[in-house]
């Protein structure tokens, strides 16, 4: 089947792309509005963009042309928390995607406890195995629908003690969930380990000549 992108409307394109770019990690973002209400919402267009300093990026689209509560809160406060949900939190993570007025706290509605931020004002989820306290770095618009890519610096990592060994995350123990096409999620499944690829020191590489 051949599909010309120019023949697709935004909804059709989203359905295709969200089923092609899989699995997608989920940034479960907690943010604060101007009145101090904790907003909570999942975003699956999420990745890391730098390790020095540590920076992550999240794409936040618009609803009926308007910025979502999370985007408004981030722009107002200039900070937010990315929480990582595991299998035990999947039901709450999914339910937090439901739209509510800005004065309604999804964390309160779902009975999710929060802990105060240490580097920023925004609270993090108490039951999340990992939380990243982030400060907004930049916002870049993309496309014709008003979607924006939010890049933020990670100021503080909160990681459950049992998850980290020799500076590395035990992904099996973390048991993260990911988003696939439609209202569907997946877990890690089988993990295949390959031998690490060793990088050849530059001093041993043959000289390149034009």
Cα-flanking dihedrals φ and ψ of residue 184, to 5°? -120, 145
Q: Which of 68, 71, 155 is nearest to 117 (CA)?
A: 155
Cα separation values, 142 from 71, 72, 138, 149, Å: 15, 17, 13, 7
Task: Please state, for a pLDDT cut of 70, what percent of the chain lies above it.
Answer: 95
Q: What is the pLDDT of residues 56-79, one digit of tens each?
A: 999 999 988 999 999 999 999 999
Give the per-residue pLDDT at 202: 64
Domain that holds residue 131: 5-187
Q: How many helices (H) and strands (E) does the chain have?
A: 5, 16
Q: What mean pLDDT comes out for the span 168-180?
A: 95
What is the rounded CA–CA span in Å between residue 94 and residue 54? 27
CATH code, domain with 138: 2.30.110.10
Number of domains forming the structure of the chain: 1
- For residue 177, name the pLDDT band (cuts at 50, 70, 90): very high
Asked whether 103 and 63 are in contact (CB, 8 A), the reply is no
45 part of a folded domain = yes
CA distance 111 to 125: 11
Q: 0.95 exceeded by the pTM?
A: no
Q: Is residue 210 domain-resident? A: no
CA geometry: angle at 21 spanning 165 and 8, to 5°?
Answer: 160
Residue 204 placed within a domain: no
Place of tokens 């408004």: 72
pLDDT digit string, tens, across residues 148-163:
999 999 999 999 999 9
Q: Is residue 80 part of a domain?
A: yes
Averaged pLDDT for residues 125-148: 97
Is 194 within the bounds of a domain?
Answer: no
Tell whether 192 is covered by a domain.
no
pLDDT in tens, 84-120: 999 999 999 999 999 999 999 999 999 999 999 999 9
Residue 182: which residues within 8 A CB-CB, separation 6 or more?
Answer: 15, 18, 19
Q: Specify the 3-state DSSP secondary structure of 142.
A: coil
Q: Is residue 169 pLDDT above 90, yes or no?
A: yes
Evaluate whether residue 148 is within a structural domain: yes
Kind of pairing between the strands at 124-125 and 114-115: antiparallel
pLDDT value, residue 8: 95
Q: Which two tokens stand for residue 142?
A: 């993309």
32: its two tokens: 């604060």
Q: Provide the pLDDT for residue 209.
A: 54
Q: If you average pLDDT over every residue of the chain, what do you get? A: 94
């Amino acid at each position: 089947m051949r599909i010309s992108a120019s023949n697709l409307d935004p909804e059709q394109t989203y359905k295709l792309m969200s089923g092609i770019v899989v699995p997608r990690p989920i940034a479960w973002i907690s943010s604060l509005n101007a009145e101090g209400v904790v907003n909570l919402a999942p975003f699956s267009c999420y990745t890391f963009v730098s390790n020095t300093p540590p920076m992550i990026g999240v794409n936040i689209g618009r609803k009926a042309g308007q910025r979502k509560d999370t985007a408004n809160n981030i722009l107002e406060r200039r900070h937010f928390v990315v929480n990582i949900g595991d299998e035990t939190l999947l039901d709450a993570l999914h339910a937090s995607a439901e739209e509510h007025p800005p004065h309604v706290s999804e964390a309160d509605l779902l009975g999710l406890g929060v802990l105060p931020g240490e580097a920023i004002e925004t609270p993090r989820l108490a039951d999340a195995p990992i939380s990243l306290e982030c400060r907004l770095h930049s916002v870049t618009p993309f496309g014709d629908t008003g979607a924006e890519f939010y890049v933020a610096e990670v100021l503080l990592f909160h990681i459950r003690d049992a998850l980290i060994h020799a500076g590395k995350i035990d992904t099996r123990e973390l048991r993260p969930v990911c988003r696939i096409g439609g209202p569907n999620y997946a877990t890690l499944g089988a993990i295949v380990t390959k031998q690490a690829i060793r990088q050849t020191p530059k001093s041993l590489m043959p000289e390149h000549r034009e």
